[in-house]
Chains A and B, each alone.
Chain A
Amino acid sequence: MDKLKEVLAESMAGTPAVSVFGLFDVPESVAVTWILMALVTAASFILTRSLQRIPGGRQTLLELAIGAFNHFCEENLGRHWRSFAPWLFTVAVYIAAANLAGLIGLAPPTRDLTVTAALALMSMILIYGAQFRFRGFSGGFKKFAQPTPVLLPINLMEIFIRPLSLCMRLFGNVLAAYVIMEMIKTLAPAVIPIAFSLYFDIFDGLIQTLVFVFLTTLFLGESIEENE
């Protein structure tokens, strides 16, 4: 029991700082993010190196994934989907890669509240930026009084509640999965963690990716939806 407490305290302790060429320190999550960015970018290079007019197996999967994502964006965002799809796609790829980083022995960056806060902040800027961008200045303000002016305070509170919930949900899930996995590994070091890892690392990681991107897209679609 003492050992479990120890593991719990350890896994919830602050992430260590990593020194970059001895020049300055960055949080561990930022360093892991760089590694993930490098890996994913390299993978995209390889995947899109020779796109054919008639796709082969790998290209078909790639097109299926991106095509489905674009379709999802188009359905929720209407005719402006093209402006947002690359960003939402980036967020989806980043969160998925971050949540799955544990599989290759890296500490998931999304375990760091700073990272999820940054993601949520960007979502907030995107949602309300788009609201003013596509509705104009006064139209953007009027949106807060819709559907009825009574909802004005709630709509204003949502500006902060939405990113906060996005941030906390992602962070909490990933951290909890990480802590639980650490404890399971302490109790049963072999074989058994695999089954739990499938759920906590892969399934939960992908579900949280979906939730984050889905909610951001829904909020965004709501803020730019056109009045008939």
Chain B
Amino acid sequence: MLQISWSGLLWTVINLLVFYLLLKKFLWQPVTDKIESRQKEIRQNLAIAEEQKMQTAKVKADYDARLAQAEEESQGLLRQAENRGRREYQAILASAQAAAEALAGETRRQLEADRTAMLAEVRKEVAGLAMLAASQVAGRQLGGSDDRALLEEFLAKEHPAEGLPAGQYPPKPLPSEAGGSL
């Protein structure tokens, strides 16, 4: 035991080398590979997670910026629309006013014309009636041009305030009034 046997030494060295190969192949290598592959996987996953986190933050910032921009844009659009609406409202109001004024003017003119026409008609009627009444009173037929001229002169004298141009019947006297005054 206290001496070294050379054959035993050789055997032990061989045993150690064989044991080395066996343990390396069946114990050390598989377990170490497993540990290292897992380490690698974890490292990769962490890197991926980090990258995704950064990407998410970027996307969020982008999204926020876009949201803010969209809000700003919508505010602008709203203001623009409001302005345009107000302008259009003013324009429509103005044009409506103008149209109303025009219509009122037209109506007034129309009314004036109608009244003038009606008055002329009335005067003609009154002249006819007066002539008829006068002929009745005179007991003879008034028909000659001198009679008509006389009548018109009378009528013009009766209503000088109207200031009508010559040759036009004054508008005021109604048939009864005219008759009464006669």
| A interface with B by C-beta (< 8 Å) | 12-15, 26-27, 29-30, 33-34, 37, 40-41, 44-45, 47-48, 51, 53, 55, 59, 62-63, 66-67, 70, 85-87, 89-91, 93-94, 109, 111-115, 117-119, 121-122, 175
Contacts and interface: CB of A to CB of B under 8 A. Distances in A.
A34 B15 contact: yes
Interface residues of B, number: 30
Contact of B8 (A29, A59, A66): A29
A51 B23 contact: no
B28 to A, nearest CB: 5
Interface string B13-24: 101101110111
Contacts of A87: 20
A86 B30 CA distance: 11
Interface stretch (B32-40, B96-104, B167-175): B32-40
Given A90-B16, A118-B13, A47 B27 contact: yes
B1 A14 contact: yes
B1 A66 contact: no
Lowest 10 A-B CB distances belong to which pairs? A118-B12, A44-B27, A114-B8, A86-B24, A27-B8, A90-B20, A30-B11, A44-B26, A48-B30, A66-B31
Contacts of A114: 4-5, 8-9, 12
A62 B1 CA distance: 35
27 contacts: A12-B1, A13-B1, A14-B3, A26-B7, A27-B5, A27-B7, A37-B15, A41-B23, A44-B22, A48-B26, A53-B38, A62-B31, A63-B35, A66-B35, A85-B28, A86-B29, A89-B24, A90-B24, A93-B27, A94-B16, A111-B1, A112-B1, A117-B9, A118-B12, A122-B13, A122-B16, A175-B1
B166 interface: no
B137 interface: no
A18 B149 CA distance: 180
Contacts of A115: 8, 12
Nearest to A93: B23
Interface of B: 1-5, 7-9, 11-13, 15-16, 18-20, 22-24, 26-32, 34-35, 38, 41
A86 B2 CA distance: 30
Contacts of B41: 53
Contacts of A66: 27-28, 31-32, 35
A40 B12 contact: no
